[in-house]
Structure 1
Amino acid sequence: MMRRSISGAAHRTVFTWWLAVLALPWSVHAAPPPTSAPPVAAYLTPQRLVAIDDTRRLNLYCLGHGAPTVIFDSGTGGGTRDWRAVQGAIAAHTTACSYDRAGYGFSDAPTRASDAANAVDDLHRLVAKAALPVPLLLVGHSNGGIYAVLYARTYPQQVGGMVLVDPGFTGQQDFQRYGLAPEKVAELEQGNAQWVALAQHCLELARSGALAKSQNQSSPCLDNPPNPDPRLHAVLNHLEMQPGFFAAYLSEFQSTFVAEHGSTRNDRESPLSAHEFGAMPLVVLTAARHPAAWPDFTAQDQQKYFDYWKQSHDRLAALSTHGQSILVPNSGHFIQRDQPDTVIHYVLHVVDQVRKDLQYPSSQP
């Protein structure tokens, strides 16, 4: 498992990985939505803290107007900043919202397990409390892809379409099915255990205050390698020193990586059935550069790993009779950063499909 950091860049890896009437009318008097990336300042402070229950708030960042509402859901440890390169362009056409899950970014710490079921419940509460217009178009990256699929299953009346960006999937940790030699399977399983242990260690450092006191800029528990913008790097380090961040991070790792008989907690919460979403517009994007990242894996090992990943994405696309499985060249796991125009293209494609299905206008006035 290739990770240089447990947070910040840590989730940029192969293992981290997401119909009703128009609620908000379009208005010709509204300020024009942005067409370029939001300023870094949008990620240095909370944007809209929405109380989803009596004790917790989630940070929500919305741009644009109209339906469907595009909701961006990040991979483990990520948040609103992961979508900076695409959110503004989508907001030029419709409502586009990103948010921080419990414990991440500016959202309050979790009070329960950070698993698929609770992530979906939190998002459902956020949609209701923030009065976001439906239908929703869910865009899930990595683990956010798992949550998007489960949300669509749990609340089908709210979801008009999905774009899954190099998503995680049910059975991802069942390495016996990858066609690898037993020793390679053992390496992958050992790697998962090591990263769960490191997350536990970082949580202990954060709870004791040692992480904040050390200010060790090379710590694997902080934003390393540092974000190119020194302002955002400083904010990320401050946020990721908080116990709530690592409580969520560890719990999400455990729900995603810890398998019993090949099945994780998230697997058990999100089984898949072919064509269960009918003809829902659905696009699954697969990063072409998605290796297992173990130094002693041969080219053949890497190909077996990738082939299982791609085949699993094909199965996700088959959840809809109109599903598309697209290979994205020249991209690593974070397609929204490496190839943002591709993500923008397919999100807008699904926006148009949802509007056609529901007989909404094809573009904003």
Structure 2
Amino acid sequence: MSRKRVIGVVVIVISLPVFLAAFEAISFRIRNRNNGFMISSGQKREYLLYVPRSYDATKPTPLVISMHGAGGWPTQQMNLSEWNRLADRQGFIVVYPSGLKKTGPRVWRVGPDFAKDVRFISEMIDKLEAAYNIDPARVYANGFSNGGGMAFVLSCALPDRIAAVGMVGAAQTLPWSWCTERRAVPMIAFHGTDDRFAFYNGGQSWVAPRPFPAVPIWTANWARRNRCEPRPVESAVAADVTLREYTHCAEDAAVALYIVRGGGHTWPGGGPLPEWYVGSNTRSIDATSTMWAFFRAHPLSRKSGAAQPIGKRVDIGGRSLHIVCMGSGPHTVVMESGAAVGFYEWWLVQSALRDEIRTCSYDRAGFGWSDPPPSRSIAGYVSDLHELLRRSGEKPPFIFVGHSMGGPIVQRYYWRYPSDVAGIILVDPSNQEASLQTIPEMKAAVAANRLRRTKEMEDWRATNKWPPQQFPAELPADLRARLVAASASRNWWEARFGEGMLPDLEISMSPEQRRIAAPLVVIRAQWRNPPGWSDEVTERFRKHWREAQDEIASRSEHTKVVEAASGHDVPIEAPGVVARAQSPANGPARLSNFFCKFSGK
């Protein structure tokens, strides 16, 4: 092996000694061959893509994502793992993404700031799926050292996209409790007992600020996540290699650990590394071909993937609600959906804000992945939401956003828990507290729709066959597919039907009872002509709706009214309007300052 190659490969390890840092920078510039570029989270990101000559655009093709260690780069990972060699024979595509280099070596951020790297990987998959016939059920992630830690992150953050993961000499810097994902993700790992950097038995290493977990314990935790039999089966693969395998796992998601006795911080069977620095390598097993055989046996089950919640389920006392939170910030913005819809109504808004503030949406009882309630009412919704936020660990005061029927829910939350609320944004809200009568044509339309739905529900209850529901085309295709797959559910349909007859939706409150001391934003939409309505009828309804919202706006002394050039479904049709009402980057007149000015928060 050439001296130049030695210097290049040394820096694959989890971290670099100071005296090699200059060589790392020089070697990267000489040997870097990245051929893919994109902008993700406002930063230029790079990757090295390998498409074998056997690629057939008419056939769905597996994608293998292989991530370098800290201080490494894509070309190094390609030479170390030798995935291209196998891709030529097996006909899959390989991509080697690049971590980011700041003041230290090029790394994957597997600590609290992992979100941007996860988004980069997800957007890279999107880009490759658009350019090639990628099989979404056969997207696999693997990595060496710090890249192995990133593979763990992806299994928790992108469980609906990553079918299985592989890790070699993985450097795990996140605690196991960080991963709350419940989907059983197949995992294969290789680790040397004499690893000089990510110690096999765990402990403090000079390359990391926190102790590494013991590999056997880490693997057992993964087996518990996959709901495997607790006792592993061990077998000798070679004189120096033992396979510890957990079987009978949920969704057939096996967990396998190949223990290399005397092995160092190396890729078994892969490209050579200088043993004086990383320890000995074994040729008794080829980690790449063994990993590929494992991957082939574990495609992503779309049925099981769809059954898993998008966010997390939180026990609120005998039943669970599904909550989806993104981002971080001083206030949590809590988003309440309109009638008969779930958390997904806010997906576009939350995605637009995820780099700026923390937002949470959720499924009311019975919707989506939330358990049904013993009875259904607005008061019950308020109690559920309060308990959900408390048990989720979200800290008040909150900014509440409510769309349509979500408007009455968040206002009644405020009237019950005023100290928990820093501000309210109402998105084309309905007025259910001022005893205002809608126009006769709207009452007739609601009654006709109710009659039609009652007949459908009777038929579905009799046959116990529940059709999948429809979801906005504006949502990402993968999210929409999971919603469709999970929506053919009696609980979900009963929840939608039940919201048409809430006993306390309309209540009579005095003007004093309707007062809101918190700052208030009212976003108004432009109602379009419903089917069968003349312009004259539509205009009468718009006048009534506007007057009702004027009354809502008058409830606070600190109200701002925003006009949205969209139909009633503002969060879907014009998510930017709602996002700008919350964004801390919205200029000197930003509405977050509006909240702070009057709330004193």
Q: Same fold (TM over 0.5)?
A: yes
Structure 1: how far apart are the matches of 2:329 and 2:359?
Answer: 9
Structure 2: how far apart are the matches of 1:159 and 1:315?
Answer: 21
Are 1:88 and 2:351 an aligned pair? yes
Structure 1: how far apart are the matches of 2:434 and 2:115?
Answer: 38
| SS of the residue 1:96 aligns to | strand
Match for 2:550: what amino acid?
D
Aligned mate of 2:578, from 323, 336, 343: 343
Preserved contact between residue 331 and residue 398 of structure 2 (Cα < 8 Å) = yes
Could you say which structure has the greater relative contact order, defined with CA pairs below 8 angstroms and 6 or more residues apart? Answer: 1
Structure 1 counterpart of 2:530? 293
- The equivalences for 1:274-313 within 5 A come to 276-278=515-517, 280-288=518-526, 290-291=527-528, 293-295=530-532, 297-313=533-549
**Between Structure 1 and Structure 2, which shows a larger proportion of strand residues?**
2
Structure 1: how far apart are the matches of 2:314 and 2:434?
Answer: 33
| SS of the residue 2:506 aligns to | helix
Aligned mate of 1:315, from 541, 548, 551: 551
Structure 1 counterpart of 2:391? 129
- The percent of aligned pairs where both chains have the same amino acid is 25
Are 1:167 and 2:429 an aligned pair? yes
Structure 1: how far apart are the matches of 2:599 and 2:435?
Answer: 37
Unaligned runs of 5+ in 2: 1-110, 124-157, 162-304, 584-589
| SS of the residue 2:338 aligns to | coil
Structure 2 counterpart of 1:203? 457
Aligned mate of 2:366, from 99, 103, 106: 103
Structure 2 counterpart of 1:120? 382
Structure 1 counterpart of 2:415? 153
Equivalent residues, number: 303
Q: Which moved more, 1:56-65 or 1:81-90?
A: 81-90
Going from structure 1 to structure 2, the CA distance change for 1:172 and 1:269 (only over 3 Å counts) comes to closer
1:153-176 residue CA offsets vs partner (Å, 9 max, x unmatched): 11101001011111121169954x
Match for 2:592: what amino acid?
V
Choose 1 or 2 for highest CA Rg. 2
1:22-47 residue CA offsets vs partner (Å, 9 max, x unmatched): xxxxxxx7417669999895995311
Preserved contact between residue 71 and residue 96 of structure 1 (Cα < 8 Å) = yes
TM-score (norm 2): 0.46
Match for 2:326: what amino acid?
L
Structure 2: how far apart are the matches of 1:86 and 1:223?
Answer: 20
Going from structure 1 to structure 2, the CA distance change for 1:158 and 1:340 (only over 3 Å counts) comes to same
State the Cα distance separating 1:191 from its structure 2 match: 2.1
Preserved contact between residue 72 and residue 138 of structure 1 (Cα < 8 Å) = yes
Going from structure 1 to structure 2, the CA distance change for 1:32 and 1:93 (only over 3 Å counts) comes to farther
| SS of the residue 2:321 aligns to | strand
| SS of the residue 1:266 aligns to | coil
Structure 1: how far apart are the matches of 2:509 and 2:115?
Answer: 36
Going from structure 1 to structure 2, the CA distance change for 1:345 and 1:163 (only over 3 Å counts) comes to same
State the Cα distance separating 1:355 from its structure 2 match: 3.8
Structure 2: how far apart are the matches of 1:96 and 1:311?
Answer: 30
| SS of the residue 2:540 aligns to | helix
Match for 2:505: what amino acid?
N
| SS of the residue 1:211 aligns to | coil
**Between Structure 1 and Structure 2, which shows a larger proportion of helix residues?**
1
Are 1:265 and 2:504 an aligned pair? yes
Structure 2: how far apart are the matches of 1:129 and 1:194?
Answer: 40
Q: Which moved more, 1:42-51 or 1:224-233?
A: 224-233
State the Cα distance separating 1:132 from its structure 2 match: 0.6
TM-score (norm 1): 0.73
Preserved contact between residue 347 and residue 475 of structure 2 (Cα < 8 Å) = no
Aligned Cα root-mean-square deviation (Å): 3.2
Preserved contact between residue 292 and residue 305 of structure 1 (Cα < 8 Å) = no
Are 1:354 and 2:591 an aligned pair? no
Preserved contact between residue 337 and residue 343 of structure 2 (Cα < 8 Å) = yes
- The equivalences for 1:15-94 within 5 A come to 30-31=112-113, 44=306, 45-46=308-309, 47-54=311-318, 56-94=319-357
Structure 2: how far apart are the matches of 1:36 and 1:246?
Answer: 33
Preserved contact between residue 104 and residue 245 of structure 1 (Cα < 8 Å) = yes
Preserved contact between residue 523 and residue 564 of structure 2 (Cα < 8 Å) = yes
Going from structure 1 to structure 2, the CA distance change for 1:345 and 1:36 (only over 3 Å counts) comes to farther
